[in-house]
Amino acid sequence: MTGTGADIQDIDTTRPHPARVYDWFLGGKDNYPVDERLGRQIAAIDGGAPKAARANRAFMRRTTRALAAEAGIRQFLDIGTGIPTEPNLHQIAQSAAPDARVVYVDNDPIVLAHANALLRGTPEGVTEYVQADARDPRTILEQAARVLDFGRPVALSLIALLHFVADEDGAHELVTTLVEALAPGSALVLSTMTADFEPENVHKGIAMYAAGRVTLVARSHAEVGTFFTGLDLIEPGIVSVADWRPESPSDGPVSLYGGAALKP
């Protein structure tokens, strides 16, 4: 495990944190009253928020399985990992390919505090946790290279991460820097919030996060498409995460677009 030395004392319980609000939506226990309060406020105006969190988690599972089992990828770099929620990405990847190597990255001290749960993988595989900020992609690449061979394909996942990074805060630059470092045959998987389906609720939610001093950005279908420039999107392309190869018929879109693409 590597990082900045942040520990449990760095956890700020006076204002809501994205990882903990998301944990509350998923029914987890690793959140504080301040997170639950914001989660409840958002769920009151947008009853679909917990459903969107669950659909997003299922999107992570389906894309990871597809990349490990169908595309044969054996290395995974997951940035914006979140508080562990079973099954975690390494468990999906290593159930398809026990030798899969996984590097997790997050900048929230509470994720670091729970990182041990992310490090229990198969004996054949490797899991590692790096405490770093997505807006510093070069540090992430440097740290990840201790476990991942960037000369071979890597699946880079930025799942429910980019809506916390505004364009003017370097969202596109971080994606470009990371994708440039990947070998041909690598993949980019991402999901990010949109107001295309339920504009009013999403904009109210953004205002509530802003009141808790958390930046949240909604992007249109075309804007999300620009993150995949130069890559070959895998079917079905960029769709609501609920509609990315659903295992059972989806009951309508949720307010997150998701897509997966391969680097030619």
CB of 51 to ligand SAM, least distance (A): 14
Q: Which of 3, 43, 45, 133 binds ligand SAM (CB under 6 A)?
A: 133
Considering only the stretches 15-23, 37-45, 194-202, 225-233, report the one whose residues sit in contact with ligand SAM under the rule CB under 6 A: 15-23
In a 13 Å sphere around the CA of 102, the CA atoms on its Cβ side amount to 29
Query: For ligand SAM, which residue has the nearest CB?
Result: 82
3-class SS of residue 49:
helix
CA 168 to chain centre: 20
- According to the binding rule CB under 6 A, does residue 256 interact with ligand SAM? no
CB of 28 to ligand SAM, least distance (A): 11
CB of 256 to ligand SAM, least distance (A): 9
Q: Which of 75, 81, 186, 255 binds ligand SAM (CB under 6 A)?
A: 81
Considering only the stretches 2-10, 55-63, 180-188, 252-260, report the one whose residues sit in contact with ligand SAM under the rule CB under 6 A: 55-63
3-class SS of residue 222:
helix
CA distance 44 to 199: 16
Strands 187-193 and 126-131: unpaired
Kindly state the tokens that stand for 102.
């996984």
The size of the interface with ligand SAM (CB under 6 A), counted in residues, is: 21
**Residue nearer to ligand SAM on the CB measure, 97 or 110:** 110
CA distance 85 to 29: 10
Given a contact cutoff of 8 angstroms between Cβ atoms, the answer to whether 10 and 109 are in contact is yes
Distance (Å) of CA 170 to CA 39, 206, 210, 220, 224: 27, 19, 19, 17, 14
Q: Which of 31, 41, 56, 63 binds ligand SAM (CB under 6 A)?
A: 56
- According to the binding rule CB under 6 A, does residue 107 interact with ligand SAM? yes
- According to the binding rule CB under 6 A, does residue 80 interact with ligand SAM? yes
CB of 226 to ligand SAM, least distance (A): 19
